[in-house]
Amino acid sequence: MARTALVTGGSRGVGQGVARALVADGWTVYVTSRRGSGPDGTIALACDHADDDAVAGVFETIGRDADGLDLLVNNAWASPEGFGGFSDTFWERPVDDWDTLIGVGLRAHYVASVHAARLMVPRGRGLIASISSFGSRGHLHSVLYGMSKAALDKMAFDMGHDLDGTGVTAVSLWLGLIRTELLLSLGIDEFAGFSLQRAEDPEFVGRVISALADDPALADHNGRTLVTAELGAGYGITNNDGTPPDSHREAFGGGPLFPPDGGPARAIS
């Protein structure tokens, strides 16, 4: 059966690796980027995710040209203007940092999810996966970054409530340290105390998402926050070099994820 996916922000970094992995696994993959570029084998659409009409246009195109939508990977992200890193305190940064870190890093994910659900629910199947991080639990990068990621976890949980029984599943994914081209170009062995040798390749994340979408027990995860490294271990998925990446759960306090009292939705064997 043909499977169709949309990866937002798919021209570089995590999104690019996810799109490549999905293409390799036989998916028809649409990607969005501001310039309309994407990796080989994908259908690239120009989209500014701060523009609701542009986002609606992407889903209109998919609805017209594809036989439905089976997977949405919410990955679009935008850095604030003049942003050079996460070293400044929140009171040293302009208040309009909100417009990118929340307006795109959170709101755009909600808008895309609305349109995806409108395509998926009538067909009775689909996965909406939002790229979150351990910044939901511990301080990571900045106040607004942490706010946006924590909100994605709650968004998936509440969407899961509304989607219950529809055949569509919503999840939030905690990625660990990612071996992007930019990070590897720095020539370092570790970042923020985490080993690059045990970090995640962007393609690893894509293979995990593909396996999750095809899992017969996908509905058991509805509304949950999941750790990609742990999912990968359960599915027998490794990095490009064959190594299994580390979960950062214990480094960020251990225990269950979101919802806080729910524990893992299902042990993967």
% of the chain surpassing 90 pLDDT? 57
**Do residues 195 and 180 make contact, with C-beta atoms less than 8 angstroms apart?**
no
* Three-state DSSP class for residue 135: helix
Residue that wins the pLDDT comparison between 137 and 247: 247
Read off the pLDDT band of 191 (50, 70, 90): low
Is residue 65 scored above 70 in pLDDT? yes
The C-alpha angle 221, 226, 232, rounded to 5 degrees, equals 100
In sequence order, what are the beta bridge partners of 207? none
Q: Mean pLDDT, to the nearest integer, of 98-110?
A: 88
Q: Specify the higher pLDDT residue, 83 or 208.
A: 208
| 24-47 per-residue burial string, b: 16 or more CB within 10 A, e: under 16 | ebebbbbbbbeeebbbeebbbbeb
3-state secondary structure 222-253: CCCEEEHHHHHHHHCCCCCCCCCCCCCCHHHC
pLDDT at position 212 is 98
Q: Which residues of 243-260 are buried (b: 16+ CB within 10 A; e: fewer)?
A: eebbbbbeebeeeebbee
If we measure between CA atoms, which residue out of 154, 269, 168, 163 comes closest to residue 218?
168
Q: Where are the domains of the chain?
A: 4-252
Select from 196, 182, 213 the least CA-distant residue to 221.
213
Q: pLDDT tens, 9-42?
A: 988 889 999 999 999 999 999 999 988 888 899 9
What pLDDT is recorded for position 163?
97
pLDDT at 140: 72
Output the DSSP codes for 142-163.
-HHHHHHHHHHHHHHHHHHHHH
Report whether pLDDT(83) > 60.
Answer: no
pLDDT at 145 exceeding the cut of 80 = yes
Q: Which residue has the higher pLDDT, 259 or 115?
A: 115
Average pLDDT over residues 113-130: 97
pTM for this model (two decimals): 0.91
- Secondary element (H or E) of residue 4: strand 4-7
Does the pLDDT of residue 257 top 60, yes or no? yes
Which of 30, 110, 145, 235 is catalytic? The answer is: 145
CA dist., res. 34 & res. 10, Å (int): 10
CA–CA dist 220, 204 (Å, integer): 22
The amino acid present at 40, given as its one-letter code, is D
Token couple for 157: 């949980």
Q: Which of 30, 20, 24 is nearest to 67 (CA)?
A: 30
Q: Please identify, in words, the CATH class of the domain defined by 4-252.
A: alpha beta
User: Do you know the residue count of the chain?
Assistant: 269
Report the pLDDT value the prediction gives residue 51, as an integer from 0 to 100. 92
Q: Name which of 97-106, 142-151, 163-172, 259-268 the model is least confident about.
A: 259-268
Lowest mean pLDDT among 23-32, 43-52, 108-117, 143-152: 143-152
Is residue 268 within 8 A of residue 247, CB to CB? The reply is: no
Query: Residue 108's CB: how many other CB atoms inside 10 A?
Result: 27
Structure tokens at 7: 């990866």
If one compares 37 and 91, the residue with the highest pLDDT of the two is 91
pLDDT of residue 265: 39
Active site residue 145: yes
Cα separation, 37 vs 44, in Å, equals: 5
